[in-house]
Chain A
Amino acid sequence: MLVKDVMMNLDSFPVILETVIFKEALEEMNNKKLGIACIVNQEKSLKGIITDGDIRRKLLKIQKPLSAFFVDDCIDHAILSPIVANADFTLETAVEIMRNKQIWDLPVVDNDNKLVGLLHLHPVVEALIKKQ
């Protein structure tokens, strides 16, 4: 079974433009009930990600007022070189990456770094259990 068989499509997880302010990125993560947002440019190239963990670390580290933090462009606080998967990876390969890096989500990109989906651990677990 491959990543493309299980990955979430673009309208079912947070995908936001790089100039969206940080507060709206958080709202989109709430709306889609996921702890990750993928940041893209107009051409849908993946520019970075924001995760719940990054936000926790930011809140402890950043000294400026919360109101200033909220109005920053989301790209200012993104991880700019995220770990990604290819749609043709096997699920086993993707899970191995997740295990090694201790992450639950993998943005899925094509060979031109265009975002095509998101691999979330829960559907992967369900798929692998069904497969057995």
Chain B
Amino acid sequence: MEKKIVSVGYGSVNSIQIGDKLPLVYVGGPCAIESKDHAFKMAEMIGDICRRVGIEYIYKSCYDKDCRSSPTSFHGCGIDDGLRILSDVRNEFGVPVVSDFSDPAWAEATGEVCDLVQVPAYLCRQTSILKAAAKTRKPILLKKGQFMSPWNMKNSVRKIEAAGNHQIILADRGTFFGYNMLVNDMTCFPIMAYTGYPVCFDASHSIQLPTSMGNISGGQREFIPHLVRSAVANGINLLFMETHDNPDKAFSDANTVLDIKYLENILSQAKRVHEVRLELLEKYGEDNVHPQK
């Protein structure tokens, strides 16, 4: 199986290569775009931390949160303002940006601005969304649905490929374990990596307790460091972790977003675990326990 490298970043921003034995890359930011000032503040804080840690990063924030549990929850700043702010972040900080989109009609505009377009987990098998994402010609961050097996993600990959796009990153954000509960099956990384595409761990949403609090989701963010170390040791190429300077006041996912005061510690560990894994592979060779045939 040929391992593919995905390149994120066009034009004047930093171009980042993701996959195979390349350095671990971080993608993060506040779940929802709150304001231009806040986006700039977060981008600057994250950028400073990533420079100190020595890790490349992609700025992530969404303009429309269509999967909120409650009709009264913050839905997002909207596509026009949101993409303008993301474009400003790109220009000001020279960093690639990513947002998801929940409607095929939003794909083209999202792809014009964003360096990476994200397919939400709940929509990961919707043909119209996948086709629209493919047609942006931008790399695609494809989240595994909480209801999907990792092997069935190949069907979604094939839909994107059939529409002409071969730049895909597959992400795990947990799998439903009964109601209101997610678990991470660490075998999903090698299974999804068997497609040849890079794999990503979404630490923020993996510790979510979906709609566990009546009309909003809860979360156990104390488990983020544990799961991050496990996933990185398991061979991920991209680490997704939403972060906020004031989680209690976050407009979206307040119970799962990581307080930015913890970010440097976790990223430092993740980077080191990734390096150690590569050192071990170099020293002892690639995994050689093959499936029964």
Contact = CB atoms under 8 A, between A and B. Distances in A.
Interface in A74-118: 77
Contacts of A77: 293
A17 to B, nearest CB: 12
Size range of the chain B interface in the assembly: under 10
B128 interface: no
Interface stretch (A28-36, A42-50, A56-64): A56-64
B244 to A, nearest CB: 37
Interface of A: 21, 58, 61-65, 67-68, 71-72, 77
B292 interface: yes
B154 interface: yes
A81 to B, nearest CB: 14
Contacts of B220: none
B292 A63 contact: yes
A64 B190 CA distance: 14
A61 B293 contact: yes
Contacts of A72: 151
Given A71-B154, A71-B155, A62 B291 contact: yes
B149 interface: yes
B246 interface: no
A62 B154 contact: no
A63 B149 CA distance: 16
A65 B36 CA distance: 48
B291 A68 contact: no
B96 to A, nearest CB: 31
